Structure 1
Amino acid sequence: MAGLGDLVKKAFYLGVGVAASAAQSANEKLAELRVQAQKLADEMVAKGEITTEEAKRLVDEMVNRAQQQQPINSTDRDQPRGEPRPIEISSDEDLPVKAEGQNVNNLQEQVMQLQEELRRLKQE
């Protein structure tokens, strides 16, 4: 049973790591977007196409839109946008002994899915 507890802990820590990595990646992308949007707005102001106030609103609007957009995964379709996915944590006592092998397989599958999601996020 101690091995299963360690596996659950490792899976949890992997999930936390993936979430932290995704958050960092998203923040970097938003910073890049803000810089690019600001350059575009500055060029438009220099050409006299828009005012500085309009440029500020344009940059803010572009960043807000980017923050609101989220890729739709098959697991996220039933979750409201902007809401975090619930995480269910169970203790070793909650798991039936005969289902231990099945739980290990489920955890391995979840770890593989998280690794794939991390790879996908790194590519973006």
Structure 2
Amino acid sequence: MADLGNLVQKAFYLGVGIASYAAEKGGTTIQELKSQAQKVADEMVSRGEITAEEAKKYVDDMIQQAQQANPTETEKNEQKEPRLIEIVSEEDEEKTETSKQENLDNLKQQVESLQEELDRLKRQ
């Protein structure tokens, strides 16, 4: 039974690898990926390693992962826009660190005062 679990796990990783490879190469369409995943699933069903329902879920998961890994045309166009770059001097970084430390100290004081209030209310 452990071998069956390992085989299913390996098949799943194979599918993830196929989806990743397809996303990297960009040449493999979703339909080709679906047919490859379907072949693997069909082979596993014929061996009795998984049920037909599990095979369908496996193929659907592979397609969903491939679609998530493959950006749409809108996302590709958004990536072409220039991104904002902020130039920060060392002084600005020190001020930011000081400001963060002040905020942290302020939050610590608030937590301590709330803890004291909670303790006071518990005693009543």
- The TM-score, its normalising length taken from structure 1, stands at 0.36
Q: Which has the higher helix share?
A: 2
- Higher relative contact order at CA 8 Å, sep ≥6: structure 1 or structure 2? 1
- The TM-score, its normalising length taken from structure 2, stands at 0.36
Which structure has the larger Rg over C-alpha atoms? 2
